[in-house]
Amino acid sequence: MTADRAETAIARGVRNPELMAAALALFEGRLHDAEPVLKAHLKRDPFDVAAIRMLAELAARIERYRDAEALLRRAIELAPDFLAARSNLATVLHRQGRSSEAVEELDRLQQVDPGNLMNANLKAAALGRVGEFDEALELYEQVLESFGKQPKIWMSYGHMLKTVGRRDDAIAAYRKALERNPALGEVWWSLANLKTLRFDDGDLSAMQEALGRGDISPEDRFHLHFALGKAHEDRREAETAFGHYDRGNSLRKTLLDYDADQTRASVDHAKSLYTADFFAARQGQGADATDAIFIVGMPRAGSTLVEQILASNSMVEGTMELPDIPKLAGQARNMGGIAKLSADDIRGLGERFLRDTQIQRKSAKPFYIDKLPNNWLHVGFIRLILPNAKIIDARRHPMDCCFSNFKQHFARGQAFSYSLTDMGRYYADYVDLMDHFDAVLPGHVHRVFHERLIDDLEAEVRAMLAYLGLPFEQACLDFHANDRAVRTASSEQVRRPINRDGVGQWQAMEPWLGPLVDALGPVLPQYPARP
């Protein structure tokens, strides 16, 4: 399709009443209304690139990023000069953790559309994701010189300042965003998500006023509920706090596509596939490297603390939550299934992980950490392709852990966390699969219980380092002095000495946590079941 024909197709789509109705439904968050309209339209006109792009946006909203990517690549194939679709593709790549690919797309866009504000903003975020923090901050500052009235740019700048540990500067940037748009819910949540900031009466009034408006988006609304939940919890107003958390989670869940039965099926499949006989038959296969250390488990279970401790050792580099293992596992399934992989395939996948993650390594340290918590589902796959890699399971009391997830809004992923029942089932499934690997691969996974870590830091740190074959260093106990960049919600917490602030917070909300207790089942009274 030529550029002229592409422009004609886009213009025609914009004038189409059906697509206008779908666009309005997307804007208002009525994804269930938009989807059938778009699919029916594309069945009649499969070459309408405007409709393809809209369907890709819908897929991205419910975190079906692979579907969104495929649709956007189709739109670009049909209309190579469709710059908006290329920008959307960069966004989807970034959200999948493929930020280096996003930067490449954005570099190409910058050549033909150098003044595009949103592309510059996205490029700065992507640069931060690949560890180019100085360049990212410089780009944000350049953008703000010309577009300082844009609140979302100030918000993104605040995110980057928070990542590199400039807390006060981050707060100032967030406040500048709110000066420009006091109803921007994500900024209020960003302040709450610092964990160490307390809202004053003026903040509460401003958030309540914003929540009372009828013209804010569903995203602004659920972010405000999460922020107000934190504000009231800090004031020990448990019932009001839980009400806001509950409404925020309910709103967020309507925008996501999560099926707890699919997670259970994945666990059952992994247990049937990764048996002792499976590994015995593949002894000696996989990449030989010992570089990688994986920290797995539930989100909000202390994995960032474990990473911060280990990354304070002179031989270990902390990177980020890398997307590569789930991506490679998906590729392996598409190669005929994991059970049918040849020895060459298995080694190749391990070597590809090492090669593709090299971009995240900024030092010559011999070991590096991938702390994507959801890799617990892929422990067997990790053991297959990287048999010499170390795996640490960071585990926290199920009530503390699950309640901490329930009051956390994640920028992406963790779709299980917006329902107490889904979350309890997810935690129970995680424990079940890890128990399986304890039996099949005894001693291969080292478990760190969060409560033991904060009660006896030195003993637990020494045990971790012994498992990793690393010498003890005092810096690991002084982890809070490490000024490395931290990207997760716990970034401010791990810059403080060890403390028990997060222990038992769920107890104030106990009257409303019955669905979580029921879903956890025997996992709750058995904790901690294993050393």
CB 471 within 8 A of CB 465: yes
Domains in the chain, CATH or no CATH each:
289-526 (3.40.50.300)
* CA dist., res. 405 & res. 255, Å (int): 17
Q: Give the tens place of pLDDT for each residue, 443-463.
A: 999 999 999 999 999 999 999
Residue with tokens 């009649």: 44
Residue with tokens 């994991």: 338
* CA dist., res. 236 & res. 424, Å (int): 25
Q: Which two tokens stand for residue 102?
A: 């996003």
Q: What is the pLDDT of residue 361?
A: 87
Q: Which of 144-153, 313-322, 415-424 has the lowest mean pLDDT?
A: 144-153
Q: Give the tens place of pLDDT for each residue, 222-257.
A: 999 999 999 999 999 999 999 999 999 999 999 888
Q: Which residues of 48-76 are buried (b: 16+ CB within 10 A; e: fewer)?
A: bbbbbbbbbbbbbbbbbbebbbebbbbbb
Q: Which residues of 191-228 are buried (b: 16+ CB within 10 A; e: fewer)?
A: bbbbeebebeeebeebbeebbeeeebebbbbbbbbbbb
In this prediction the pTM is 0.79
CB 59 within 8 A of CB 67: yes
> Which of 371, 416, 399, 420 has its CA nearest to residue 267?
416
pLDDT bucket at 9, cuts 50 / 70 / 90: low
CB 506 within 8 A of CB 399: yes
Phi, psi of 297 (to 5 degrees): 140, -160
Q: Is the pLDDT of residue 6 over 60?
A: no
* CA dist., res. 293 & res. 291, Å (int): 7
